[in-house]
A and B are shown apart, each in its own frame.
Chain A
């Protein structure tokens, strides 16, 4: 059997209506946009899909909706992270039953347990499902404990269906250790680049990528991804710098202490003609004045001229 290899994975945002309910008609449009624009798989809801702001029931419903909408055209990876182990385990089981091609999970939200307990938490989630399992670094340091390469090695020993790491740490040392050490323990062990930084991970021998900015700039990400697949890393530099520039603008927009970019992504999506509403509270949308400045800065990025407008 061919090992599971998700390739270029798009991470859609989650749209909300003014009454804070999930806007499913728009979510359907978002999913279709990604499938038409180069997604080889979808991962949802990633941190940029505001997983932390969704309730347990909503997360299940959202995943069921996505599976129905995609209808098997591409694999759908379910991101299941929570503060409590049993909460995450139960939702992972639900996602698998619903049709998830793989489960992604990171160290628990909020708590800072000792490394052994973090390993235990993740191992239990992985053991609860049979589909391929990925462990993910938490999106920001303050959202939970750091995922270390030692933890990854212990998890490989304990969890037979652990096929790889989704790297959101962007840390060169972590990537080197996980790829070289991981493959010694489990040949073919994968590293998927997270957060739109593809070149370094690919040069080190990483596999695919999960790209949250694909809703804004799918063509540029596809180009960098293809160049990386062809081992043309130096050629990918210019486009990766462009994407890093967009990433910078998105992260710096809004007043989030985490610089999570949630307000920026949705604002840039709207600017590209794909209105997805506002982020859920307590995340504030970008204020009027800043919005103007942000839009000017984004529109001044020459590479975005080649990107699709509207749905």
Chain B
């Protein structure tokens, strides 16, 4: 029996805290998850790229999924990302997510293979029929036709094939690509959740996007919540102010994502440790630069410090 799931607003995707020896810090992670729920996250989604998903072992990903579900304790929905390099791992993670009580899975066909549309279709059907959980897919087109792209036609076929297919994380950030998916999906399956990969929401909310998986929420949860409230109230002026500020934050953090973000979190009193190689850990100079910019943007002064 498919449980209905309500996904709306700026949903938080916690980082993965590490100890100084780069081991996964489960206790820190529980604090991170709880922080987000207490600061208004309408859903928790883990482990996205921001959580160094592909640098975690499968055992660590399972452990984190269990901690997330237990810590959230049904206060909001929990979605577990099961995308990996190898589809066998994705199937394993999907079954595990269902077993431990997650509310949804987010998946993508294995990256780095430039899969054809037919291959993506088969992959999502295999994963989506392995579980009874609601399934979200992750549209991640890169430039020049690389990446894993869900066209409108592929989305249509998947909606037809999978009754538990309930939404798309869209990282195209592109009017044409977005509308290819939304005009098909929203009309075929009302309530289909289109969730932006980063909160580029002002461009997409009027066209039916229901929210975003947050990039900047780890630093600025208040700003995220204010932004979404403005969108819902059709207060476009306030929404624009918030969007432009978030856009600046994204510019700060997208370089070597999520190293700078983790560095800035430590500055906000939430020690989440280093970032695993091959990604760098933000150094002193970078941190000083971030501190200055966050102060100029009024983030240090208006957002929560500590856990």
Chain A residues in the interface with B (C-beta under 8 A): 141, 170-173, 175-177, 179-180, 195, 197, 199-201, 203-205, 231, 233-234, 236-237, 240-241, 244-245, 247-248
| Chain B 173-205: CB-based contact to A (< 8 A → 1; otherwise 0) | 111111110110001000000000000101111
B residues in contact with A231, CB < 8 Å: 234, 236
B243 at the interface (CB under 8 A from A): yes
B residues in contact with A175, CB < 8 Å: 203
A residues in contact with B283, CB < 8 Å: none
B22 at the interface (CB under 8 A from A): no
Given contacts A237-B207, A237-B208, contact A204 B179 (CB under 8 A): no
B247 at the interface (CB under 8 A from A): yes
Q: How distant is B13 from chain A, measured CB to nearest CB, in Å?
A: 18
B residues in contact with A199, CB < 8 Å: 175, 206-207
A residues in contact with B243, CB < 8 Å: 176, 204
Are A234 and B206 interface neighbours, CB within 8 A?
Answer: yes
B interface residues, tally (CB under 8 Å): 32
Pairs across A and B, CB under 8 Å, 17 listed: A173-B200, A176-B200, A176-B247, A195-B176, A197-B179, A199-B206, A199-B207, A200-B202, A200-B207, A203-B203, A204-B202, A205-B240, A231-B234, A233-B206, A233-B234, A234-B206, A241-B183
- Interface residues of A, dominant DSSP: helix
Given contacts A203-B236, A205-B240, contact A244 B204 (CB under 8 A): no
B248 at the interface (CB under 8 A from A): yes
CA–CA, A171 and B179, complex, Å: 12
Given contacts A173-B247, A180-B247, contact A200 B180 (CB under 8 A): no
CA–CA, A221 and B174, complex, Å: 19
- Interface residues of B, dominant DSSP: helix
Are B202 and A237 interface neighbours, CB within 8 A?
Answer: no
Chain B residues in the interface with A (C-beta under 8 A): 143-144, 152, 173-180, 182-183, 187, 200, 202-208, 234, 236, 239-240, 243-244, 247-248, 250-251
Are A204 and B176 interface neighbours, CB within 8 A?
Answer: no
A residues in contact with B144, CB < 8 Å: 141
Are B180 and A170 interface neighbours, CB within 8 A?
Answer: no
B residues in contact with A234, CB < 8 Å: 205-206, 234
Beyond known contacts A172-B200, A248-B180: 5 more, CB 8 A cutoff? A172-B174, A176-B200, A197-B179, A200-B202, A233-B234
Are A245 and B183 interface neighbours, CB within 8 A?
Answer: yes
Q: Which of B143, B206, B244 has the most CB of A within 10 A?
A: B206
Q: Which of B182, B247, B250 has the most CB of A within 10 A?
A: B247
CB-based nearest B residue for A247: B176
B residues in contact with A241, CB < 8 Å: 179, 182-183, 187, 207
CA–CA, A241 and B185, complex, Å: 11
CB-based nearest A residue for B247: A176
Q: How distant is A308 from chain B, measured CB to nearest CB, in Å?
A: 24
